[in-house]
Amino acid sequence: MDKETTGIRAVMILEIIGRPAEHLVSTLEDFIKKIGEEKKTQVISKKIAEPIFMKDSKEFYATHAEVEVEVEEVLYLAMLMFKYMPAHIEIISPELIALTNNGWSEILSELTRRLHSYDEVARILQNEKIILENKLKEVMEMKTGKGKKK
């Protein structure tokens, strides 16, 4: 069998926290609309739960959406996962998914590309944090008279 499986159905659970409650629903609606516009992806069904106060909080609401999608190839399911970061994903059908070495290469390349971009962001943030800490230290020393005046 050297043919890749097509027509993959999956359910994704998207979770969101924030306020006001109505903003959460509209944000999930926007996400679901964007998912449906993704390449070779079709939204089959959606259910958005009513926002409720988070446990131990009377300031923030939480809700979730259950979105059933059909994608042409498993690569597009992986791309949805990286782009929309669902809390849960379950493949409904088919029971068995065949993937060629080219299919695996595409998925692993996408994974690698995403990891490199996340690593780059983390490195930039680390460097900016160090710069801010040094500036704060400098300002505090100036304020307490311990620093050199220029």
Q: How confident is the model at residue 2 (pLDDT cuts 50, 70, 90)?
A: low
Tokens of 11: 């359910």
pLDDT tens digits for range 29-78: 999 999 999 999 999 999 999 999 988 888 899 999 999 999 999 999 99
pTM score: 0.75
* CA-to-CA dists, residue 106 to 41, 53, 138, angstroms: 17, 41, 48
pLDDT tens digits for range 104-150: 999 999 899 989 999 999 999 999 999 999 999 999 988 887 655 55
